[in-house]
Amino acid sequence: MKKTVNGVDLHIETSGDPAGAPVLLVGNTVHTWPDELCARLTALRRHVVRYDLRGTGLSRSPESAADPEAHDPEAPDYTLRDLVEDAAGVLDAVGLPAAHVAGFGVGGWIAQLLALDHPDRVSTLTLVATRPTAPGPADPDLPEHAPELMKHFMNPPEVDWTDRESVVGYMLENARHMSGPEFDEAEARRNIERIHDRTLPAPDPGKAHRADQMATAFAALDSGPRWRERLGGVTAPTLVIHGEDDPFFPLGNARALAAEIPSAELLVLPRTGNELPRRTWDAVVAAILRHTS
């Protein structure tokens, strides 16, 4: 369904028994949290809410919709704080005063700030594959992105954003570099194709609009003031889930989150990168179910 949230038309999906425990899953797009994983949650009486962040998937920021020529996909026309207010607005749009909130990647930043700025909206907090600081250089005590990964990102191939296979191939190589040692190419390709095929067409096919739509532009996000020093004020019970071999946000980031958020629990996924592959779902779903009970 489409709901107007903070002046933006956001695509929102709900599944499961509305009387079940509400779980807001925040990622780049709906498919950051795969359908099959969500089905496991809904089968156990969780009411799952997912949505596409503004500018991704089937959601579009108002500026890009109004003036495609003025829209630069590498310079988002929104801030991280806008995305946080969108998350609160999604809860309003589906009639939820509060929910168990789980965030993956940039969704983890949104979830942290939602718990800090709107503590009454967050029943529990789950942080997956994220870190306690915004885009940019890591704090001195936190591990940096893996050098080989950054070499890959700093030397991208030419991509024809109007050609499906060119886009999917590029995103697949990104996923390979972000993964742990047990990369499942077929699974990753299926998920990337799902994301691509449900992404709004580019307003101008000549622009790299899909780069933004498929959530590759968050490194340029204006994140506003630091929040790491506020993590001791998180009141929601917190679960941190992180891949042992995450090259983008190495494990030390998760250890910092678990140490600095009061009474947080840490679940480490062996041989896993910045990803939630199918082989981790038994452990991830079991942990989320315990945490949200």
Per-residue model confidence as pLDDT tens digits over 91-101: 999 999 999 99
Q: In which band, very low, low, confident or very high, does the pLDDT at 175 lie, cut at 50, 70 and 90?
A: very high
Please tell me what DSSP assigns to residue 247. S
Cα dihedral sign, 241-210-5-38: negative
Average pLDDT over residues 161-189: 91
Residue 250 CB contacts under 8 Å (≥ 6 apart), including other chains: 143, 144, 145, 146
User: What is the pLDDT, as a whole number, of residue 59?
Assistant: 84
Q: In which band, very low, low, confident or very high, does the pLDDT at 55 lie, cut at 50, 70 and 90?
A: confident
User: What is the pLDDT, as a whole number, of residue 154?
Assistant: 87
Per-residue model confidence as pLDDT tens digits over 3-43: 999 999 999 999 999 999 999 999 977 778 999 999 999 99
Residue 63 CB contacts under 8 Å (≥ 6 apart), including other chains: 70, 71, 77
User: DSSP 3-state assignment of 138?
Assistant: coil
Specify which residues 11 forms β-bridges with.
2
Contact 253, 139 (CB under 8 A): no
User: What is the pLDDT, as a whole number, of residue 202?
Assistant: 55
Average pLDDT over residues 207-235: 73
**Does residue 207 have a pLDDT over 50?**
no
Higher pLDDT, 167 or 251: 251
Q: How far apart are CA 251 and CA 268, in angstroms?
A: 8
Per-residue model confidence as pLDDT tens digits over 146-162: 999 999 988 888 888 78
Range of the domain at 63: 2-291
Within 10 A of 193 (CB to CB), how many other CB atoms are there?
17
Which of 84-88, 121-125, 142-146, 209-213 has the weakest average pLDDT? 209-213
Most confident of 29-33, 212-216, 285-289: 285-289
- Do the bridges between strand 122-128 and strand 99-104 make them parallel or antiparallel, or are there none, so unpaired? parallel
Within 10 A of 69 (CB to CB), how many other CB atoms are there?
9
Which CATH number covers residue 232? 3.40.50.1820
User: What is the pLDDT, as a whole number, of residue 78?
Assistant: 84
Q: How far apart are CA 53 and CA 195, in angstroms?
A: 13
**Does residue 142 have a pLDDT over 70?**
yes
Its pTM surpasses 0.85: yes
**Does residue 206 have a pLDDT over 90?**
no
**Does residue 118 have a pLDDT over 90?**
yes
Domains of the chain: total: 1
Average pLDDT, the chain: 89
What are the respective helix, strand and coil percentages of the chain, to the nearest 5? Answer: 40, 15, 40
Dihedrals phi, psi of 123, to nearest 5 degrees: -75, -45
